[in-house]
Amino acid sequence: MLKLVIGNRAYSSWSLRGWLAARHAGLPFEEIFFPLYEADWEQRRRDPLLAPSGGKVPILWDGAVASWHALAIIDHLDRLTGGARFWPADPAARAFAMSVAAEMQSSFQALRGFCPMNTRRRYPGYALSKEAEADTRRVEALWEEGLDRFGGPWIAGADYGAADIMFTPVASRFTTYDVALSAPAEALRARLMAHPFTCAWLAAAATEGHVLERYEF
Ligand X SMILES: N[C@@H](CCC(=O)N[C@@H](CS)C(=O)NCC(=O)O)C(=O)O
| Binding of residue 169 to ligand X (CB under 6 A) | no
Q: Report the nearest approach of ligand X to the CB of residue 53 (Å).
A: 7
| Binding of residue 7 to ligand X (CB under 6 A) | yes
Angstrom CA distances, 168 to 5, 6, 62, 100, 191, stand at 19, 16, 24, 13, 10
Out of 4, 14, 175, 181, name the contact with ligand X by CB under 6 A. Answer: 14
- H or E element at residue 6: strand 2-6
Residues 64-93 that bind ligand X (CB under 6 A): 68-70
The span from the CA of 207 to the CA of 145, in Å, is 36
Angle at 11 between CA 10 and CA 12, to 5 degrees: 115
Q: Report the nearest approach of ligand X to the CB of residue 172 (Å).
A: 12
Q: Which is nearer to ligand X, 25 or 57 (CB)?
A: 57
The span from the CA of 116 to the CA of 147, in Å, is 26
Which residue's CB atom is positioned nearest to ligand X? Answer: 56
- H or E element at residue 62: strand 59-62
Q: Which is nearer to ligand X, 15 or 175 (CB)?
A: 15
Q: Which is nearer to ligand X, 12 or 150 (CB)?
A: 12
| Binding of residue 176 to ligand X (CB under 6 A) | no
Report how many residues bind ligand X under the rule CB under 6 A.
Answer: 15
